[in-house]
Structure 1
């Protein structure tokens, strides 16, 4: 239902003056009579009076107000947990019958005045028309996300209730029983709570990074139900070939560990499988297999951590770097100690070197001569004149004895290495640190990792930078107060996870030498979950190792089964690189080629896609979680054979239809119909005068 009203900015009583003016003009024009009959003369006068009045009416700044009212029916969302656990551990006939009954219930609810919407875990299915053919393929069960997906689109559209159909197995995201939802939840319990005879390979414990020429353990944890005393074969396979075998007599206790000892002679990424051979009468063999992906490396990276004087930063950096077993850190505190220089360093961290006391100047000269990638940390004792000559990616012009207290802000556009989802919020909570005030100039080709924020004002000034276009890479941190960040994070969260990851990733990025390669293609992560989108980034350098852009890069991607796919992307500054999307589980190797300045260059690499396999670990439905959800919503738990009672409960809740008004205002000067009305009046008067003999 709609209504149209006309209002004016000025007093509407002025409209009488407009009408009076129109009548006056008409009287002046038609008072002497004319060649028209009396009736026609009155009609012409009326047209002229109305035309003048309507034109003058525009001086009152009129506008229209359109009011539209609509009825919003109460909405009921049917949220289906279509995860693999429901499909695996609920009998197929029961699922089929339940989904058919659910669709029929939705039709009856619609006929009785409710609007029914369907949703599930699968992306893009928020407008499902039926549940009958939906596949149960979701690889995780995030029931909180499923409920939010059903609630969020209809939060302001008279959402009355959410019907959650699930087995109660929840293995990702916040626990829904501790959340508040904007609509009552009516759970429907799927699955089976009776234990089934089954053997589950719960997990395999192993070190993801190992050294070539050594042996390392793999420990498989097996859980059994209903097979006490039975013997089972546990296999360790590589590339489909069994390399070790264990015969296990299943004990009475629920879980047991099976150890393997593995040796790898050659560096690289390795893919193993641990397989428990199925037993007769076992409910399912889906959960009898686990994949193992690990790195075998040649040796540790040698890192020099040198400071002009003792400082709290040194302990913070040492603690952070020691969380990574790949890094062998040598610590030097001048003038008390000197670097050994016995073996080449893969990277160096120089704290306030070069400095005003000339401590470490010789070390810096030797590191630059050996082309060692260097991470410079600046502070009050830094010799900025000498530092500017290093061309490390940033320069400070006209340094001041004053300091800014700045907080770090993460630059999301930096993609050399990935950061944890928690990083953005935690970094914002780090305390402010002192940065020398001055004109900081960032060199071309330098990427900002952290920016400065002064108080509540975010700026484009850098705080932590990385430059790859020198003869050797370099990084610069503009403050010597990062130790406070680590202390604060450890105090607030129990560990300094984000600080440690940031520093170790940055040092690894420096230490992974490019050997002056002209083309470098790399994955943003070494290992991806099967639910994550895979992405590759690239660096392209000219003959003097300056980064250049605009090249077409061809990538050949090879899966373990020798299946190859071809891809192309353009290397652009700040570009997205190559987005491969979600890939199947396995080890992937790639070969990339690009034409640079008339020459063809090639680079190779590899990455892993891992399967979480969470859905097959628990075969028992968790109806207690669904019961708690019902209690929090003051509803009750239903079962598939009680859908009639669920329908009755929804109807008896007597959800109300909402009458909502929408108001739209628009200036009359902006509406074409008003001008056509004026033109119609003028043309009508002209046509009548013309037809009856006089203008």
Structure 2
């Protein structure tokens, strides 16, 4: 409150007192009742004047803030396999029912498997475990809070970053409760099996098996590959305490075209406790030929390697980086061509494409000669400019030629391209538009077009290698970006007639992966139709059981998740119920539960996490010790905080009530004494 305001308040008091005395002064000595009337009049006038002055009053409120206590529980099926459900329920109930703990902390319950969820409801059905992802998300949620974390887990992670390293960046103390047996048992394990997804007819496909042994005695056993009940390859392997691992590399012939299932098995030892980790099923799809794709450039650029790696992530495709003359001499060897930043030296390549038409992708950039391309191609014209610009990408969610993976294009760094727009003289479909700074434009960055039974795509920017790197930073792998490039190449390399119902699925799925089937439905004018109702009818070829599932709409496609299906061979039919169009196919789910490969808790990794975060490790029967440590830890004290609010007096309703009471009281007193 300022000195001017204080002066006005004093002046208001003097004015109020003067007016009250002026009205009742000559009567004060007659009756004592006039003293009360003068006082009420003073309060009324003073309160009204105070409201006119309207001073600001600071109001301070005190409250206590309890630290958070995070209880993150592993919800994967490995805990069920290790028979830890009762231990987990007992620990959680002890935490919930301890009154002292609830008085000191706000308890927040989470569960995690592949992802983190805020819940204390546990099913122990998670297919995979990603502890690192749980740490990353908890760090984001509680970055400004005091939130010690209790981690109930066996410590076995099936995919994701090393959570021991991730915990170094975790700002909260972590208290792991070790679930599962920590006693080391004799065990021989098929640690890893590396096999390509595809093989080529009349070739051999390589297999790499990594086998580990945990024990002290010398042992000998047999490793086999079975196709049905037939042993197609075997080898005897010996282990001891020192030589406790083997890497086997061998090849099998691909003599028939189709999908084939195999089983790799290491014969269990007589005293083994866990034999679930001794075998693994795998499948190979034998295909007849490989798609050959040419990348033509007359200078070296990182984009060339990035495109080659993305396309060849699918083993059915092979990429050759060629000079212009090499491409012209071998043009008949390829099903598609990528022309990287064409200029006038590309004239022989364009002439060869006029004679031997191939579907193509043209990538332009700062060195592209658009004057040459405009004179060579009749289907589009680009504005001529020597100026370059940085363009970020904005996805067109209405694009319907193929299903675009869920990439965060707006987080990608900008591409460099020639300034100006492109105008098409044939039908085109836009995948990405340009964003300059914060301005989203309608200008094309990536588009596809069809004409005279040919398909072509244009990418109007260089440095796509940076997109692949950013995708890895965003997702932890190149898979989604490579999938995007793969689908663009698949669209360009295919000459198949367009259909109204397209279904995307894999020939086989591993039992621990998600089984997701995607579909697109088009109306009679081949525009994507989001009003159709798609149903998939799935039949188990072994049991004969039939099930139906509805597709759900997601962006520019329909999707259905069949991950709940058990391992088996399946046939399916996808039906558009309104138009009665259907599409059929088949797939195989291979039996494999990665969560059942662990016999023991990974105590050493959990101890590393506790050490990295200044926490401690406990067992389920020592929950009371954990509670005592949390209650006595001075780092987790309840903090008293205060908030100050500056409130104008005119918002104080009690002052208005005081004025009303004073005026009412004065009127009743005067009325009662016959002064009115």
Structure 2 length-normalised TM = 0.74
Matched-pair contact (CA < 8 Å) for 2:573–2:582:
yes
**Which residue in the other structure is 2:278 paired with?**
288
Residues in 1 aligned to 2:587 and 2:651: alpha-carbon distance in whole angstroms: 60
CA contact (8 A) 1:466 1:473 kept: no
Deviation at 1:605, TM superposition (A): 5.3
SS in 1 for 2:90: helix
CA RMSD of aligned residues (A): 5.3
Residues 276-332 of structure 1 deviation map (CA, whole Å, 9 limit, x = unaligned): 67665431233234232444434222435456x666589547744556542345766
For residue 191 of structure 1, what is the aligned residue in structure 2? Answer: 180
One of 370, 374, 392 as aligned partner of 1:382 = 370
Structure 1 residues 467 and 682: CA distance shift in structure 2, 3 A? farther
Establish whether residue 622 from structure 1 lines up as the match of residue 602 from structure 2: yes
Report matched runs for 1:669-680 at 5 Å: none
Structure 1 residues 349 and 143 mapped into 2: Cα distance closer, same or farther (>3 Å)?
Answer: closer
Report how far residue 203 of structure 1 moved: 2.8
Aligned to 2:112: 121
Q: Is the 8 A contact 1:74 1:114 kept in 2?
A: yes
Alignment check: 8 A CA contact 1:519 1:541 kept? no
Q: Is the 8 A contact 1:166 1:189 kept in 2?
A: yes
Q: What pairs up with 1:381-460 in 2 under 5 angstroms?
A: 381-383=369-371, 385-386=374-375, 389-390=378-379, 396=382, 398-404=383-389, 406=390, 408=392, 411=395, 416-418=403-405, 427-428=412-413, 434-439=416-421, 446-449=429-432, 451=434, 459-460=440-441
CA distance in 2, matches of 1:61, 1:230: 93
1:435/1:107 CA distance change after superposition, 3 Å = same
Checking the alignment, whether the CA contact within 8 Å between 1:110 and 1:116 is kept in structure 2 is no
- C-alpha distance in 2 between matches for 1:201 and 1:245: 18
Note if contact 2:111-2:119 (Cα within 8 Å) is conserved in structure 1: no
* Unpaired runs of at least 5, structure 1: 1-6
Residue 506 (str. 1) matches residue 488 (str. 2): yes
Shift of 1:610: 7.2
Q: 1:580 aligns with which of 544, 555, 561?
A: 561
Task: Confirm whether residue 261 of structure 1 aligns to residue 246 of structure 2.
Answer: no
Partners of 2:455 and 2:44 in 1: CA distance: 79
Alignment of 1:629-668 (within 5 A): 629-634=609-614, 636-654=616-634, 655-664=636-645
| Stretch of structure 1 that moved more, 647-656 or 224-233 | 224-233
Structure 1 pair 626/385, CA: closer, same or farther in 2 (3 Å)? Answer: closer
Separation in 1, partners of 2:663, 2:450? 74
Q: 2:226 aligns with which of 220, 228, 236?
A: 236
Distance 1:350 1:630, change over 3 A: closer
Deviations 1:168-220 (A, max 9, x none): 43443333256143333344444334332334333332211223465545555
Report the 3-state secondary structure (helix = DSSP H, G, I; strand = E; otherwise coil) of the residue aligned with 1:299.
coil
Offset at residue 68 of structure 1 (A): 3.1
What residue number does 1:3 align with?
Answer: none
Higher relative helix content:
2
- Alpha-carbon spacing, 1:138–1:570, altered in 2? closer, same or farther (3 Å): closer
| Partner residue in 2 for 1:555 | 535
Residues 221 and 266 in structure 2, CA contact (< 8 A), matched pair in contact too: no
Structure-2 residue corresponding to 1:14:
8
Match among 332, 336, 342 for residue 347 of structure 1: 336
Q: CA deviation at 1:515?
A: 1.0
* 1:436–1:279 distance in 2 versus 1, CA, 3 Å: same
Shift of 1:566: 2.9
SS of residue paired to 1:536:
strand
Q: Could you tell me which residue of structure 1 aligns to residue 520 of structure 2?
A: 538
> Which aligned pairs between 1:37-52 and structure 2 lie closer than 5 A?
none
> What is the CA–CA distance in structure 2 between the aligned matches of 1:678 and 1:38, rounded to whole Å?
24
1:68 aligns with 2:61: yes
Query: Do the aligned partners of 1:408 and 1:463 also contact (CA within 8 Å) in 2?
Result: no
Cα distance in 2 for residues equivalent to 1:529 and 1:671: 67
| Pairing 1:133-532 to 2, within 5 Å after superposition | 136-147=124-135, 153=141, 156-159=144-147, 161-171=148-158, 172-176=160-164, 179-212=168-201, 216-218=205-207, 220-225=209-214, 234=224, 236=226, 241-244=228-231, 249=236, 251-253=238-240, 254-255=244-245, 257=248, 261=252, 263=254, 265-267=256-258, 271-274=261-264, 281-306=271-296, 312=301, 316=305, 319-320=308-309, 321=311, 324-329=314-319, 333-334=323-324, 338=328, 342=332, 346-351=335-340, 360-363=349-352, 365=354, 372-379=358-365, 380-383=368-371, 385-386=374-375, 389-390=378-379, 396=382, 398-404=383-389, 406=390, 408=392, 411=395, 416-418=403-405, 427-428=412-413, 434-439=416-421, 446-449=429-432, 451=434, 459-460=440-441, 464-467=445-448, 473-479=455-461, 503-522=485-504, 530=512, 532=514
Contact 2:328 2:348 in 1 (8 A): no
| Alpha-carbon spacing, 1:107–1:333, altered in 2? closer, same or farther (3 Å) | closer
1:340-381 CA-to-partner distances (Å, cap 9, x unmatched) read 6647x64332345696986555445457xx6x5431223531
What do residues 490-513 of structure 1 show as CA deviations (whole Å, max 9, x unaligned)? 9xxxx9999877644532232244
Match in the other structure for 1:602: 582
Which digits, 9 at most, give the CA deviation of each residue in 1:48-104, with x for residues without a partner? 765665555455455665543222345544444454445444x76xx7468636744
TM-score by length of 1: 0.72
* Cα 1:338/1:276, change in 2 over 3 Å: closer
**2:503 is paired with a residue of what secondary structure?**
strand
105-114 vs 296-305, greater mean Cα deviation: 105-114
What SS does the aligned partner of 2:191 have?
strand
How many equivalent residue pairs? 647
